[in-house]
Amino acid sequence: MRPTISPPPSLSPDEVEKILKQEFDLSGQIELLPGDIGQNFHVTTGDGREFLFKIANPVEDRFSLEAQNKVLAYLNLQNFDFQLPKIIPNLKGAEITEIKDHRGHCHLARLFTWLKGEFLAEINLEDKPDLLEDLGHVLGSLDRALADLTLPHARRYWHWDLKNLLDWQELTAYISSSPRKRLVEYFLLQFETEVVPEFAHLRRSLIYNDANDYNILVTKSPAGHWKIAGLIDFGDMVESYLLFEPAVALAYTISSAEDPLEAALPLLKGYNSVLPLSEKEIRLLYYCLAGRLCLSLMMSAYQQHLRPEDNYVTISEKAVWRLLQKWQTINPLQVEDRFRAALGLKPAPRGLPSELIINLRQKHLSRSLSLHYRRPLKIVRGALQYLYDEEGKTYLDCINNVAHVGHCHPRVVRAGQRQSALLNTNTRFLHDYLVAYAQRLLATLPESLKVIFLVNSGSEANELALRLAYTYTGRREMIVIDHAYHGNTSALIDLSPYKFKGPGGQGQGVWTHTVTMPDTYRGPYRSSDPEAAQKYAQEVIELIARLEAEGKGLAGFIAETVLGCGGQVPLPEGYLKTVYQAVRKAGGVCIADEVQIGFGRLGTHFWGFEQQQVVPDIVTMGKPIGNGHPLAAVATTSEIAAAFANGMEYFNTFGGNPVSCAIGLAVLEVIEEEQLQAHARRLGERLQQGFRELQQKYPVIGDVRGSGLFLGVELIKDPATLEPAPELATTVVEALKEEGILFSTEGPFNNVLKIKPPLVITKEDADRVLETLERILKDNT
């Protein structure tokens, strides 16, 4: 849907001069003012009288102008202590004058009294809470008066009416920057989720609907006291939901504030003192304010597309973007808490207290589940790269690579919502999405991988990979890298040194063979040794020779390209080439576990194995593939797939269902359209460079490694011995959490800071991580 906005009328001051003389018997100086959809002229007569001559856009029909006139006449009868424009009829006594421009086009025009004052937009509001409180008061008074008015015409469809916000979603197509488009779509989704279902329970009223800072005039008394002088432009007036009035006013008046939340309080107090807001209205203000910012940005993007030469529409755009970005960093629950406190309400009741949840978990869930952080977090919402806890705090998420394209990415959420509403079945029925998704996923992989299996978790993917390897080779022996984790099933625990050697571990499976982690920082062969990769690979070659000598047939080798649980350790260059060769020579298959690192996270390549210039026989994928939806996959060659299709049906109730496929497709589309792999590379380089600069200053940083947005920072006590510093790593992680940044630790000694954020983090987020880490290192070393 597009708003039918005609270009504004384009009368010259000379034409206007003639019209004013003829219709109003006025003459004087005529100055064109900046305007939105209409044309406005400031008229100053020779004897010093001033007027506003307003020519309407063709979308504003006669009925709507008459309705505005009626409302103004009504409001002008009230005893307000601020001014509103008054209509001056033409010589024939008509309030609306039909005029013709030089091309013979008819327009509707009105003459108003001129209100004196300065625009609120041109005043620094930072130190003027009283003025904003006065504005709240003015709007409250206006709305209180309007509440008694019913005007059939105000029940019109109007594009600036926030209740129609979602009708304009397709205008996001005109926002050229993908991070901005994503943010607008995110807030549209929030509006749809939080506000729209409440429409039936919200107060309706006739509202002014345009308290933007170029419609609000202010004056300063001789004593230096600022106050609202008046309001102009009633063109957006509409019957809608009352809370949109303060939401619109806030959207404009807090846009340049350092602390927008604090800046919002006086206006709200002023409004609430005249017209108290309901608890629901207070809660929804966060989303309505964001909604209005989105509406402005969408309209402005569309206007720029229609009239690229006209820059009026972009006047406040920069400030609006800045506010929307800032708004995303503010937890909506904090906004609700602060608004309620400012209006004298007790805190809103929330969900179960954390302590109770912990108790109930201990009672009803397995104690083998673990929790992040000394004081576990109760996260209630995700907003792209941010997480909101129930206490109102916002966290930058640097631990959830699962939320690959951002928590609640609007495209992905909508894909899942839509398909859930249509159908969810299994692969025993034909469905377009299953094959579309398989094709799309295979297109990202090397030619030789031709068959996809869809499953529900990384573990299930690796479990199936093992079955494929076993069936294809007819053997069982598997080689794995030390400290690796490949999943939670029995077979995979037996194959995951991270588990079978760890607490509660029962030792490796009979078919498992572990090789040294090729860690060139701390392992037996280090980065100073040009042969390190080959020496580590040699161990695999020798192991295979031993197995063959013992008559044990090799089924395969499984590894990640950057070892996650091993402590974000990238495999040294050339390692996999040599290992894959040896494994294949022995008749085994090569499995690349891309569960953590795939889908562009490494920045340089879409898949981790591509960094090692190898082509696996089986690739397993999980975590990021569904952006949080339980989806995982296995890709393999036609030969391996053929061997597996030996008559036994492979059925997976949920694997490959249409909802999962719709979500998987959306994730791939978003990665491509938003160019997130290139973004991961740029941001990763920025972070790595920053970490390296910190390494120069803080010798506790022993190593900085990884690729793209899969990074590790290893903390040590002594550069000579490389003695690990796990306590410091925990201290840093806890301190970062206090500062609103989520990190975790990893590695055999738990001394590696692990960084794997959603790919949508920004430069500003990355810089904040670096500044905060530096502060924490300064305080703790």
CB 619 to ligand PMP: min, Å: 12
Answer for which of 64, 331, 459, 612 binds ligand PMP (CB under 6 A) is 459
Q: Which is nearer to ligand PMP, 489 or 762 (CB)?
A: 489
Closest by CA to 480, choosing from 573, 579, 570, 559, is 559
Are residues 715 and 781 in contact, defined by beta-carbon separation less than 8 angstroms? Answer: no
CB 366 to ligand PMP: min, Å: 15
String of contacts with ligand PMP for each residue 620-659, x by CB under 6 A: --x-------------------------------------
From the list 222-230, 482-490, 572-580, 643-651, the region that binds ligand PMP by CB under 6 A is 482-490
CB 436 to ligand PMP: min, Å: 24
Answer for which of 462, 568, 612, 688 binds ligand PMP (CB under 6 A) is 462
**Residue ranges in 716-755 that form contacts with ligand PMP under rule CB under 6 A:** none
Name residues whose C-beta falls within 8 Å of residue 319's C-beta, 6 or more positions apart in sequence: 255, 256
Closest by CA to 120, choosing from 261, 226, 264, 271, is 226
CB 623 to ligand PMP: min, Å: 6
Place of tokens 């600036």: 160
String of contacts with ligand PMP for each residue 236-275, x by CB under 6 A: ----------------------------------------
**Residue ranges in 560-589 that form contacts with ligand PMP under rule CB under 6 A:** 560, 564
Both tokens of 75, joined, read 């409001």
Residue, CB closest to ligand PMP = 458
Alpha-helical regions (H) of 25-121:
62-76
Quick check: 616 binds ligand PMP (CB under 6 A)?
Answer: no
Between CA 66 and CA 70 the distance in angstroms is 6
Answer for which of 3, 38, 416, 487 binds ligand PMP (CB under 6 A) is 487
Q: Report which DSSP code applies to 193.
A: I
CB 488 to ligand PMP: min, Å: 6
Are residues 100 and 181 in contact, defined by beta-carbon separation less than 8 angstroms? Answer: no
Answer for which of 589, 595, 625, 676 binds ligand PMP (CB under 6 A) is 595
Quick check: 485 binds ligand PMP (CB under 6 A)?
Answer: yes
Q: Which is nearer to ligand PMP, 260 or 487 (CB)?
A: 487
Backbone angles phi, psi at 736, to 5 degrees: -60, -40
From the list 61-69, 83-91, 211-219, 453-461, the region that binds ligand PMP by CB under 6 A is 453-461
Name residues whose C-beta falls within 8 Å of residue 477's C-beta, 6 or more positions apart in sequence: 511, 513, 547, 552, 553, 554, 555, 588
Between CA 219 and CA 213 the distance in angstroms is 14
Q: Which is nearer to ligand PMP, 185 or 593 (CB)?
A: 593
Q: Which is nearer to ligand PMP, 462 or 512 (CB)?
A: 462
User: Which phi-psi region, left, alpha or beta, contains residue 375 (left: φ > 0; alpha: ψ -120 to 50)?
Assistant: beta
Backbone angles phi, psi at 203, to 5 degrees: -70, 135
Give the containing element (helix H, strand E) for 609: helix 608-611
**Which is it for the CA torsion 674, 676, 682, 683, positive or negative?**
positive
Q: Which is nearer to ligand PMP, 192 or 560 (CB)?
A: 560
Answer for which of 253, 303, 457, 657 binds ligand PMP (CB under 6 A) is 457
CB 416 to ligand PMP: min, Å: 18
From the list 75-83, 317-325, 455-463, 684-692, the region that binds ligand PMP by CB under 6 A is 455-463
Largest CA distance in the chain: 111
Are residues 55 and 107 in contact, defined by beta-carbon separation less than 8 angstroms? Answer: yes
Quick check: 159 binds ligand PMP (CB under 6 A)?
Answer: no
Q: Which is nearer to ligand PMP, 85 or 458 (CB)?
A: 458
Answer for which of 57, 596, 677, 688 binds ligand PMP (CB under 6 A) is 596
Radius of gyration of the chain measured on its C-alpha atoms: 32
Are residues 207 and 242 in contact, defined by beta-carbon separation less than 8 angstroms? Answer: yes
CB 463 to ligand PMP: min, Å: 9
**Residue ranges in 488-507 that form contacts with ligand PMP under rule CB under 6 A:** 488
From the list 128-136, 292-300, 457-465, 639-647, the region that binds ligand PMP by CB under 6 A is 457-465
Q: Which is nearer to ligand PMP, 328 or 596 (CB)?
A: 596
Q: Which is nearer to ligand PMP, 85 or 708 (CB)?
A: 708
Q: Which is nearer to ligand PMP, 397 or 593 (CB)?
A: 593
Between CA 327 and CA 654 the distance in angstroms is 38
Place of tokens 């030969």: 639
Q: Which is nearer to ligand PMP, 339 or 575 (CB)?
A: 575
CB 597 to ligand PMP: min, Å: 8
Are residues 620 and 559 in contact, defined by beta-carbon separation less than 8 angstroms? Answer: no
How does strand 723-724 pair with strand 710-718? Answer: antiparallel
Name residues whose C-beta falls within 8 Å of residue 516's C-beta, 6 or more positions apart in sequence: 481, 482, 523, 524, 536, 539
CB 118 to ligand PMP: min, Å: 60
CB 492 to ligand PMP: min, Å: 8
Q: Which is nearer to ligand PMP, 385 or 596 (CB)?
A: 596
As separate numbers, helices (DSSP H) first and strands (DSSP E) second, the chain gives: 23, 29
Closest by CA to 183, choosing from 314, 321, 303, is 321
Give the containing element (helix H, strand E) for 494: helix 490-494
CB 560 to ligand PMP: min, Å: 5
Both tokens of 208, joined, read 């002014």
CB 407 to ligand PMP: min, Å: 17
String of contacts with ligand PMP for each residue 531-560, x by CB under 6 A: -----------------------------x
Q: Which is nearer to ligand PMP, 243 or 633 (CB)?
A: 633
Answer for which of 161, 593, 617, 765 binds ligand PMP (CB under 6 A) is 593
Between CA 57 and CA 770 the distance in angstroms is 51
User: Facing residues of 88 across strands?
Assistant: 111
Q: Which is nearer to ligand PMP, 159 or 407 (CB)?
A: 407
| C-alpha pair distances (Å), 213 with each of 392, 503, 729, 760 | 29, 62, 49, 32
DSSP for 107-161 reads EEEEEEEPPPSEEGGGS--TT-HHHHHHHHHHHHHHHHHHTT---GGGSS--TT-
Are residues 268 and 343 in contact, defined by beta-carbon separation less than 8 angstroms? Answer: yes
CB 155 to ligand PMP: min, Å: 52
| C-alpha pair distances (Å), 736 with each of 34, 155, 397 | 48, 51, 11
User: Count residues contacting ligand PMP (CB under 6 A)?
Assistant: 14
CB 292 to ligand PMP: min, Å: 40
Answer for which of 458, 567, 600, 747 binds ligand PMP (CB under 6 A) is 458
Both tokens of 600, joined, read 């562009």
Q: Which residues bind ligand PMP (CB under 6 A)?
A: 457-459, 462, 485-488, 560, 564, 593, 595-596, 622
